[in-house]
């Protein structure tokens, strides 16, 4: 596909990479990560919901690249190899595939009891993997196929990205109120705060070819860009996403790729023109989110209402049965949050419905006990 053709198509956000919505089916199921395979002109998407890896060709057609895994998160493509963070039997650890033959190359077990989340590759043969629930950072020697615990503890590490020019790894920590991006020295693992993003659920990180850093944020359903020295406030480059997860940039065409965890699609944002229409929630509610998600026993639902109204939040199982009413009260405008303790229900997919006045919305969440 020519660059001019792709840029013409990406003047707006395209849902599911289906140019003109022509794909026959949507195979995305809680998409967590998306990368561009330059060698074969295709996008690869990891599905947290069912553990499959989906490839999307230049015409927007979707097909399965792999169906052997059961629960996966971040992905990384390095030359002709695709690396995947896998979180459930039969593979808990790092899985590598050939992008030329589509075959599994190796599996490296990692003794994680949490959630292996995002990963990135430095220039010295190491892959760094965040363990979100277990508060750890792992380092993998790819040539030796061995792993070591690099930083422990590291509070709620999510997105990771290598900054090789400065001999460090950047990690976004999901800490309420701050969500800092911290720098971790490759040599000794020492830490320092680069910038506080002040987002409740910063997720993915990506570089563009000018050395600017992009972040995705669940709390605002948007993506932001920092300048090379982090000296100015971040610029909003796209909005209207739905739980944007591990973002990446197709540097060949300068396209920001944003997987929408809840909406089961991918947004492709043209960074050259930045002509992205914002999608705004109805007036009654300015944002809805829950974190962590997926979660283990407890999650916090946060929301903001623009005017005082009767608010109800109800939890339903996948069959539509009402599990619990966790909010049913008249509330003033502003920010609110409520915790759901799910010790008495089994693992699975659940939905919470929030209603404020006449407006209502439903979001998906995943419980892993």
User: To the nearest whole percent, how much of the chain has pLDDT over 70?
Assistant: 89
Please report whether residue 213 resides in a domain. yes
Residue 8, classed as helix, strand or coil, is helix
What was the pLDDT predicted at 276?
40
Question: CA of 75: how far to CAs of 31, 159, 285, in Å?
Answer: 11, 11, 33
> 52, exposed or middle or buried, with CB in 10 Å at 0-12, 13-18, 19+?
buried
User: Among 30-44, 71-85, 253-267, 324-338, where is mean pLDDT lowest?
Assistant: 324-338
Pair (193, 297) in one structural domain: no
Distance CA 45, CA 22 (A): 18
User: To the nearest whole percent, how much of the chain has pLDDT over 90?
Assistant: 61
What was the pLDDT predicted at 274?
43
CB neighbours of 144 closer than 8 A, spacing ≥ 6? none
pLDDT tens-digit profile of 34-78?
999 998 999 999 999 999 999 999 888 999 999 999 999 999 999
Pair (201, 296) in one structural domain: no
What was the pLDDT predicted at 287?
62
DSSP secondary structure letter of residue 263: T
What was the pLDDT predicted at 144?
96
What was the pLDDT predicted at 201?
61
Residue 261, classed as helix, strand or coil, is coil
Pair (132, 230) in one structural domain: yes
Please report whether residue 277 resides in a domain. no
Pick from 212, 238, 270: which residue ends a domain? Answer: 270
The answer to whether the CB of 249 falls within 8 A of the CB of 324 is no
Distance CA 335, CA 241 (A): 20
Domain of residue 306 covers 285-367
Q: Output the average pLDDT for the chain.
A: 86
pLDDT top residue among 130 and 287:
130
Pair (314, 251) in one structural domain: no
What CATH code is carried by the domain that includes residue 332?
A: 2.60.40.1930
pLDDT tens-digit profile of 211-255?
999 999 988 899 999 999 998 889 999 999 999 999 999 988 899
What CATH code is carried by the domain that includes residue 88?
A: 2.120.10.30
Pair (36, 170) in one structural domain: yes
Instruction: Respond yes or no on whether the N-terminal peptide bond of residue 90 is cis (omega within 30° of 0).
Output: yes
Helical ranges in the chain per DSSP H:
3-9
What was the pLDDT predicted at 363?
80
Structural element, H or E, at residue 63: strand 62-66
116-121 and 104-109 strand pairing? unpaired
pLDDT top residue among 348 and 161:
161
pLDDT top residue among 83 and 333:
83
What was the pLDDT predicted at 248?
97
Distance CA 303, CA 356 (A): 10
Structural domain count of the chain: 2
Pair (102, 177) in one structural domain: yes
pLDDT tens-digit profile of 173-199?
988 778 899 999 999 999 999 999 887
Please report whether residue 279 resides in a domain. no
Pair (250, 293) in one structural domain: no
pLDDT tens-digit profile of 97-112?
999 999 999 999 999 8
Residue 136, classed as helix, strand or coil, is strand
What was the pLDDT predicted at 18?
39
What was the pLDDT predicted at 23?
43
What was the pLDDT predicted at 202?
81
What was the pLDDT predicted at 275?
41
Question: CA of 74: how far to CAs of 174, 203, 319, 328, in Å?
Answer: 16, 11, 29, 37
CB neighbours of 278 closer than 8 A, spacing ≥ 6? 239, 240
Pair (141, 222) in one structural domain: yes
């Amino acid at each position: 596909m020519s660059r001019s053709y792709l840029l013409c198509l990406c003047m707006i956000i395209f849902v599911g990479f289906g140019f003109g919505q022509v794909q026959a089916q949507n195979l995305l199921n809680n998409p967590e990560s998306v990368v561009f395979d330059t060698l074969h002109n295709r996008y690869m998407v990891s599905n947290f919901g069912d553990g499959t890896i989906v490839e999307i060709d230049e015409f927007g057609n979707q097909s399965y690249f792999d169906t052997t895994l059961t629960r996966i998160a971040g992905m990384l493509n390095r030359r002709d190899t695709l690396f995947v963070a896998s979180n459930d039997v039969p593979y808990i650890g790092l899985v590598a595939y050939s992008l030329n033959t589509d075959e599994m190359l190796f599996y490296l077990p990692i003794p994680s009891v949490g959630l292996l989340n995002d990963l990135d590759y430095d220039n010295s043969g190491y892959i760094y993997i965040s363990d979100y629930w277990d508060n750890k950072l792992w380092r993998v020697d790819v040539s030796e196929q061995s792993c070591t615990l690099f930083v422990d503890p590291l509070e709620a590490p999510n997105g990771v990205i290598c900054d090789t020019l400065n001999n460090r790894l950047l990690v976004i920590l999901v800490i309420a109120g701050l969500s800092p991006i911290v720098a971790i020295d490759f040599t000794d693992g020492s830490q320092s705060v680069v910038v506080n993003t002040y987002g409740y659920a910063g997720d993915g990180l990506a570089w563009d070819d000018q050395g600017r850093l992009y972040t995705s944020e669940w709390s605002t359903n948007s993506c932001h860009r920092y300048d090379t020295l982090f000296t100015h406030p971040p610029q909003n480059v796209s909005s209207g996403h739905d739980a944007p997860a591990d973002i990446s940039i197709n540097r060949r065409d300068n396209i920001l790729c944003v997987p929408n965890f809840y909406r089961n699609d991918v947004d492709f944002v043209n960074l050259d023109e930045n002509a992205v229409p914002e999608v705004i929630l109805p007036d009654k509610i300015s944002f809805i989110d829950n974190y962590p998600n997926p979660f283990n026993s407890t999650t916090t639902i946060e929301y903001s209402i623009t005017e005082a109204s009767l608010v109800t939040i109800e939890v339903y199982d996948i069959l539509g049965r009402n599990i619990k009413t966790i909010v049913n009260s008249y509330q003033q405008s502003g920010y609110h949050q409520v915790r759901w303790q799910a010790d008495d229900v089994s693992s699975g997919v659940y939905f919470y419905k929030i209603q404020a006045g006449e407006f209502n919305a439903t979001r998906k969440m995943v419980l892993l006990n």
